[in-house]
């Protein structure tokens, strides 16, 4: 088979986990895969996830002959201190391989431990704001990521998101040296995911796919993953949300979010993620909820810049067919995403998962959030390049249209 290089916009390196173990019962493989890489595993999880699946994973690791050291204090948005504490456990245990159990927070903590294990310096030194992209010099020790959400796609990506509590901000590390070695995707582990987090992580995954597809960094191969991800997630997310025990929907979601992760890590995220990080930090929103609130508004703002791409999104969402022009179909994309978010009752979660300030207070932080969004670099990848003023307007419109009405 020959590859048509004219499809690519120049040289591209497609990264991926070396092995992806997918299917009901995949978790049983964890021990055999991890034991290829050493004798002692650091098992990284939150206390909550460890309570549900910890002993299962521990026993498959031990059955494969591994000694297991546990760090089970991962927080929802892993902090600098979290990563340092987990790294201390790694060093004290003289570990060889990192096994993460959980979603993005556990995986990102595991990646952080790996960075500190293989490189000199403070975790802050590797953020893109200080070290740039590909700013991690040495490859982490092997990471086996046992995924329990669908999902951040972090088991397939070059990204680590870390909360810096000293500044109430999040910073991003991006390097191919942190991509996990093995991704374990067992849909049965996602059945216990609460309905709220099925919505948050599912809409995060859809955002990854949409942003990867429309990014100025997209190309033929990442597009293939993004298209299939949009299709899978949009069709299976409402079913997985409505009935968490639906294994078929859970399997499709796992595959869809994995493909979305593979798409964005080889293309990029864009304006939604750029704006969601500061919004999430200010309002204490879960990452996926922040993205889901922003996604329809940013799609509406961006569609004119790449009508053929947004039209395809609308068609993948079953919101348009071949009988309308690309521009007309593109305009339907944001409404279709809005409808999907409404199906998941996304804004209803603001009551329990957000600290919403008064409008005046919110307006005061809009310039700061806008600056943080611009500094992240993500808005520059957006199909439509936003000005500072347009970004500020989007934040204000979001508050008035989606965030504040939900409080009534
Ligand atoms: Fe995300």
Domain tally for the chain?
2
Q: How far apart are CA 405 and CA 408, in angstroms?
A: 6
Q: Which domain CATH number covers 242?
A: 1.20.1090.10
CA of 82 to the centre of ligand 1 (A): 20
Tens-digit pLDDT profile for residues 83-129: 999 999 999 999 999 999 999 999 999 999 999 999 999 999 999 98
The alpha carbons of the chain give a radius of gyration, in whole angstroms, of 20
Same domain? For 247 and 352 the reply is: yes
CA of 51 to the centre of ligand 1 (A): 25
CA of 31 to the centre of ligand 1 (A): 29
CA of 4 to the centre of ligand 1 (A): 31
Share of the chain residues as helix, strand and coil, in percent rounded to the nearest 5: 60, 10, 30
Average pLDDT over residues 71-87: 94
Whose CA is closest to 275, among 289, 294, 299, 296? 294
CA of 63 to the centre of ligand 1 (A): 35
347 inside domain: yes
Rounded to 5 degrees, what are φ and ψ at 40?
-125, 125
| Residues 280, 171, 184, 245, Cα dihedral to 10° | 0
State how far Cα 353 lies from the chain centre. 18
CA of 39 to the centre of ligand 1 (A): 33
2 inside domain: no
Whose CA is closest to 187, among 249, 107, 262, 239? 249
Whose CA is closest to 12, among 248, 265, 238? 265
Mean pLDDT of the chain: 94
CA of 60 to the centre of ligand 1 (A): 30
Whose CA is closest to 62, among 81, 76, 43, 79? 43
- Would you place residue 327 in the very low, low, confident or very high pLDDT band (cuts 50, 70, 90)? very high
- Would you place residue 408 in the very low, low, confident or very high pLDDT band (cuts 50, 70, 90)? very low
Q: How far apart are CA 195 and CA 232, in angstroms?
A: 18
CA of 203 to the centre of ligand 1 (A): 9
CA of 93 to the centre of ligand 1 (A): 32
Collect residues with CB below 5 Å from ion ligand 1.
204
Residue spans of beta strands (DSSP E) within 106-167? 143-147, 159-164
The pLDDT value given to residue 167: 82
User: Look-up: residue for tokens 């990506």?
Assistant: 157
Tens-digit pLDDT profile for residues 270-298: 999 999 989 998 999 999 999 999 999 99
Q: How far apart are CA 69 and CA 36, in angstroms?
A: 17
CA of 23 to the centre of ligand 1 (A): 23
Tens-digit pLDDT profile for residues 119-147: 999 999 999 989 999 999 999 999 999 99
CA of 379 to the centre of ligand 1 (A): 14
The pLDDT value given to residue 67: 98
- Would you place residue 168 in the very low, low, confident or very high pLDDT band (cuts 50, 70, 90)? confident
Does 194 have pLDDT greater than 90? yes
CA of 264 to the centre of ligand 1 (A): 9
CA of 174 to the centre of ligand 1 (A): 13
User: 155, 190, 225 — which closes off a domain?
Assistant: 190
The pLDDT value given to residue 340: 98
CA of 373 to the centre of ligand 1 (A): 14
Q: How far apart are CA 407 and CA 356, in angstroms?
A: 8
Does 4 have pLDDT greater than 60? no
CA of 94 to the centre of ligand 1 (A): 32
User: 152, 170, 190 — which closes off a domain?
Assistant: 190
Q: What is the model's pTM?
A: 0.93
Structural tokens at position 251: 């399997």
Angle at 401 between CA 397 and CA 403, to 5 degrees: 100
9 inside domain: no
Domain assignment of residue 256, given as a range:
195-407
CA of 288 to the centre of ligand 1 (A): 6
The pLDDT value given to residue 10: 60
Q: Which domain CATH number covers 154?
A: 3.40.50.1970
Three-state SS for 19?
A: strand
CA of 204 to the centre of ligand 1 (A): 5
CA of 137 to the centre of ligand 1 (A): 24
User: 190, 210, 242 — which closes off a domain?
Assistant: 190
The pLDDT value given to residue 9: 53
CA of 261 to the centre of ligand 1 (A): 9
Same domain? For 71 and 135 the reply is: yes
CA of 12 to the centre of ligand 1 (A): 22
Q: How far apart are CA 372 and CA 395, in angstroms?
A: 13
Tens-digit pLDDT profile for residues 207-239: 999 999 999 999 999 999 999 999 999 999 999
CA of 159 to the centre of ligand 1 (A): 10
Same domain? For 210 and 177 the reply is: no
- Would you place residue 322 in the very low, low, confident or very high pLDDT band (cuts 50, 70, 90)? confident
The pLDDT value given to residue 6: 42
User: Look-up: residue for tokens 């500190």?
Assistant: 116
Three-state SS for 222?
A: helix
Same domain? For 155 and 217 the reply is: no
Q: Which residues pair with 144 in a beta bridge?
A: 99, 182
Structural tokens at position 150: 């669908």
CA of 101 to the centre of ligand 1 (A): 18
Does 1 have pLDDT greater than 90? no
The pLDDT value given to residue 170: 80
Q: How far apart are CA 303 and CA 373, in angstroms?
A: 20
Three-state SS for 172?
A: strand
CA of 206 to the centre of ligand 1 (A): 9
Burial of residue 360, with CB atoms counted within 10 A of its CB: 0-12 exposed, 13-18 middle, 19 or more buried: exposed
Whose CA is closest to 289, among 378, 353, 206, 376? 353
């Amino acid at each position: 088979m020959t590859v048509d290089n004219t499809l690519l916009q120049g040289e591209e390196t497609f990264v991926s986990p070396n092995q992806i173990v997918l299917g009901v019962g995949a978790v049983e493989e964890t021990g055999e895969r991890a034991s290829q890489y050493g004798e002692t595993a650091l098992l990284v999880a939150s206390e909550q996830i460890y309570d549900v699946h910890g002993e299962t994973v521990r026993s498959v690791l031990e059955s494969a002959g591994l000694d297991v050291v546990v760090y089970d204090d991962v927080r929802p948005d892993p902090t600098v201190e979290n990563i340092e504490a987990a790294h201390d456990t790694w060093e004290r245990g003289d570990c060889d391989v990192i096994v993460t159990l959980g979603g993005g927070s556990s995986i990102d903590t595991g990646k952080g431990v790996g960075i500190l294990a293989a490189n000199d310096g403070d975790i802050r030194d590797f953020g893109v704001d200080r070290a740039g992209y590909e700013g991690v010099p040495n490859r982490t020790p092997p990471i086996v990521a046992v995924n329990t959400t669908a999902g951040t796609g972090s088991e397939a990506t070059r990204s680590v998101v870390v909360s810096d509590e000293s500044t109430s901000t999040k910073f991003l590390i991006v390097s191919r040296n942190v991509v996990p070695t093995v991704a374990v995707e067992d849909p049965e582990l996602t059945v216990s995911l609460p309905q709220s987090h099925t919505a948050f992580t599912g809409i995060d995954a859809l955002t990854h796919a949409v942003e990867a597809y429309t990014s100025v960094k997209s190309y033929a191969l990442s597009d293939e993953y993004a298209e299939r991800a949009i299709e899978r997630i949009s069709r299976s997310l409402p079913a997985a949300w409505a009935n968490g025990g639906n294994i078929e929907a859970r399997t499709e979601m796992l595959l869809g979010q994995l493909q979305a992760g593979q798409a964005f890590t080889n293309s990029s995220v864009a304006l939604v993620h750029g704006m969601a990080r500061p919004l999430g930090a200010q309002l204490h929103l879960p990452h996926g909820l922040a993205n889901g609130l922003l996604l329809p508004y940013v799609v509406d703002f961006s569609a004119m810049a790449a009508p053929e791409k947004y039209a395809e999104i609308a068609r993948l969402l079953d919101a348009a067919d071949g009988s309308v022009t690309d521009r007309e179909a593109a305009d339907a994309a944001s409404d279709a995403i809005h409808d999907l978010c409404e199906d998941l009752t996304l804004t209803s979660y603001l009551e329990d998962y957000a600290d919403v300030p008064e409008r005046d207070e919110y307006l005061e932080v809009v310039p700061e959030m806008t600056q943080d969004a611009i500094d992240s670099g993500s808005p520059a990848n957006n199909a439509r390049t936003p000005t500072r003023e347009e970004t500020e307007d989007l934040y204000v419109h979001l508050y008035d249209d989606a965030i504040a009405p939900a409080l009534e």
